[in-house]
Amino acid sequence: MVVGPPERKVRTTPSSPRGPVRWRKLMRVLVTGNNGQLLRCLRHLAPIHGLDLISIGRPELDLLKPDSVMTAVLCRQPDLIVSAAAFTAVDKAEDLPDLAYATNAKGAGAVAAAASALNIPIIHISSDYVFSGSKPAPYTEADQTEPLSVYGASKLLGEAEVRAATANHVIIRAGWLYSPFGQNFLKTMLALAAKQDTVRVVADQRGRPTSALAAASAILALAHRLLQDGHPELRGVFHLAPAGDASWADFAEFIFGAVEAATARRIRIERVSSREYPTAAMRPQNSCLDATKIKERYGITMPHWQTSARDIVEICLQLPAKETAQ
């Protein structure tokens, strides 16, 4: 017996920006990418939010091949797109600027063009690295952008490409993401804690450590609202960040404190400056994002970063390494 997709019906809702909406029993959200940590968190949480989530990445959807993007998206007929695929190797981007720009700018534009062709909303994931980090306070959406790196510049240009392709967009800026999945700072610290007694960590860069699980939950809640409400105030650029901020060294110290509480193993932090730990790409000294706007427009808030980080450390310590590996 051949089982096809659920029967699709048509209803008219005045809140929808596209008038008659084709819908299924579950609204379908398409996420670009193969296996990134945010995608994995979205996939994990989508059933809880009552959404049918599908993901497409290379080779079928290749951000370097705009035609493949349009074809892959049109074949799936989603109700909303989360544009999460990107070139995220910040330091490698300095040596591969053409690839970074093609992926993060032109590729983002191609995804947004596909959303426009279907007349559906798109949530595009951007970065805190669009800012210089010279501001002493958290950055708002109205602050001037001034990226220090090729990666940051490519993400900023990607935002412009999305805006040019469709007005029905939300651009989410987030940074310092971590989760039980893939490669991220928290998991790197846990790996170092297993084999070293002292770890050197940069202490003069500050940000808001952001759980990708909490971010995914917020994005899915936002997706629900976008599908129900076409108001222009719900479109545009929004910062997504938890309460509280920390330096990388502060973040590491908290992680190691949670490890010590669970295992009685103590790890010492050696705080160093960015100058003592040079990288190919410059990083903002202040990556803190002000999330007031998303709270006011969507009612979305995130837990304090320490609350989420403690939970993720506990998950990582309990799960076999193969379950959290990329």
Query: What are the catalytic residues?
Result: 151
Q: What is the rounded CA–CA span in Å between residue 134 and residue 100? A: 24
H-state helical runs in 19-175 = 37-45, 66-76, 92-95, 97-101, 108-118, 150-165
Q: What is the rounded CA–CA span in Å between residue 51 and residue 69? A: 22
Q: Which residues contact 180 (CB under 8 A, 6 or more apart)?
A: 187, 213, 312, 315, 316, 319, 323, 324
- Counting Cα atoms < 13 Å in the Cβ hemisphere of 174 gives 27
H-state helical runs in 96-184 = 97-101, 108-118, 150-165
DSSP 180: S
E-only strand ranges, 193-241 = 198-202, 206-207, 210-211, 236-239
**Contact, 78 vs 30, CB < 8 A?**
yes
* 3-class secondary-structure state, position 178: strand
**Contact, 9 vs 23, CB < 8 A?**
yes
Kindly report the number of other CB atoms within 10 A of residue 282's CB atom: 18
Per-residue CA distances from 289 to 16, 174, 240, 245, 294 (Å): 30, 8, 7, 9, 11
Query: Bridge partners of 243?
Result: 304
Q: Minimal CA–CA distance to 171: which of 235, 103, 119, 88?
A: 235
